Structure 1
């Protein structure tokens, strides 16, 4: 383990993970045998989506009878939560494990704490997010938004998965509420996997990486030349309105994902 003011580095075998707590506690780098797997840049890597995932319609959601308004950071909607724009506190750091927290503050209207943990091995990375409250209950979501490089040393990635359904996407990029048979890409779409997220990324001749989670939803985004995104999340886009998970003092929101890889 090594750290600087702005980054923390974990290692296991020839796997090396770099975390930037001050930049939304995102993974800024994942190198396997010296090869970087994530798109580089302040907005990229892999960031946590919390306390919501994807878009909230017009930035508004309801908690009981109270309507809350989030800033429209992707007009006309609010997108991807506030955690990625927050400096997180380091709770603990070891050679291959680390944990970070931040307290929910404005513009999110409810108090609570978010915890993110990382555990690296020679051939896997395990991530966990938890959202808890000590007083007022509120709806929340959590997940991750990794930007995997489309090409590794000239080998372009293939994305393979089997979904039970696709959330039909309207012209406003929000789910319409209809579930349809999965369509061919390119995608900026949410898919349902009731047995858990299971997506395989293969760079032929280079690497195979599996993204798995007990969560039932994953967004696949492959409309950019530089990267593809495989985003496990606890509910669909606009889920604070369509499928809210209520965080209470006795029932936190918890989600995990495991990435495993092997050389080809």
Structure 2
């Protein structure tokens, strides 16, 4: 196995892949390319190698139609905060109050993925291979379902050699404690040969509305240890006891992408539906509906940020030829 970032001989690159959107930020490192869409929820639109034979995509690339629709769900990856995945009925109790998120423009039955992915992010410092994106939330007491805590978030998105590195951070600017979770939602190219490798200890089983019911064994837990086919199960589930490393492999193409994450990205979501050729392997800090869970924080993740408290963690995606 060799890391592509260590390969001193590179083919002549071609710029065959183009997305015609002037708001995109283009980053480069060697033959690696990254397109960032701050106006589409602070998303990554594409991460690929500009190889002599054409672009090699490590994340599923956005399309012109996805950019025109400003649809984060059709980007390469997008940030999740101030919580990950669903909150049952879009409400929870916290610090003696009901937090009701219904009516904030989220069109799902249960509040989904927070709100920052549905807002534009502000562009900060830039270099040829990196960009900082900023998101400031000031709650509007007159807006239905608005997140009632003031906070600031930042993404530092960069190419470190051939690897993609994203650092997410948040700062509680409210005068009271704030419940919080974060993650990133990457989509990967999915083919008949795609495999997912990860060390996990258990799976959160879910009901028909993709809300967790219990933590327990599942054949996918053992399958991922050996390299689970993306087509093996119908999955939209959280996995516990994750080692904070996972690899998405395309053995027929002789390549793989390894995801590594810092704490508190201690939970993993695998979305591999039977009905669509989609694949997400997501580093997150909390399980679905963690704010309503009866389990301990150690089991469901998430945290409470005290006034003026900050949190930051980094995720890497490292491509390899095998």
Is the shorter-chain TM-score for this pair beyond 0.5, marking a shared fold?
A: yes
Answering whether residue 146 of structure 2 is matched by residue 104 of structure 1, we say no
Q: Distance in 1 between matches of 2:277 and 2:56?
A: 16
- Measured against aligned partners, the alpha-carbon deviations of 1:32-91 in whole angstroms (never above 9, x if no partner) come to 232223142333220101111000010002221011111363543110111111111111
Equivalent position of 1:141 in the other structure: 181
Note if contact 2:91-2:102 (Cα within 8 Å) is conserved in structure 1. no
| CA shift for structure 1 position 172 | 2.8
**Which protein is richer in strand relative to its size?**
1
Note if contact 1:39-1:226 (Cα within 8 Å) is conserved in structure 2. no
CA-atom RMSD in angstroms: 2.0
Note if contact 2:90-2:110 (Cα within 8 Å) is conserved in structure 1. yes
Match of 1:24 among 38, 41, 53: 41
| Residues 21 and 64 (structure 1), Cα distance of their counterparts in 2 relative to 1, 3 Å cut | same
Answering whether residue 204 of structure 2 is matched by residue 182 of structure 1, we say no
Name the count of aligned residue pairs: 257
Match of 2:202 among 153, 159, 165: 165
Unaligned runs of 5+ in 1: none
**Which protein is richer in helix relative to its size?**
2
> Is the radius of gyration larger for structure 1 or structure 2?
2
Equivalent position of 1:94 in the other structure: 127
Note if contact 2:47-2:61 (Cα within 8 Å) is conserved in structure 1. no
Match of 1:212 among 237, 250, 260: 260
Unaligned runs of 5+ in 2: 1-20, 140-145, 221-232
What TM-score does the superposition give when structure 2 sets the normalisation length? 0.75
Match of 2:89 among 43, 58, 64: 58
- Measured against aligned partners, the alpha-carbon deviations of 1:114-151 in whole angstroms (never above 9, x if no partner) come to 11111212331111111111233210110011111113
Q: Distance in 2 between matches of 1:82 and 1:139?
A: 14
Equivalent position SS for 2:78 = strand
What TM-score does the superposition give when structure 1 sets the normalisation length? 0.90
- Measured against aligned partners, the alpha-carbon deviations of 1:14-42 in whole angstroms (never above 9, x if no partner) come to 11011000110100011123222314233
Equivalent position SS for 1:148 = coil
Equivalent position SS for 2:120 = coil
| CA shift for structure 1 position 251 | 2.8
Q: Distance in 2 between matches of 1:197 and 1:182?
A: 19
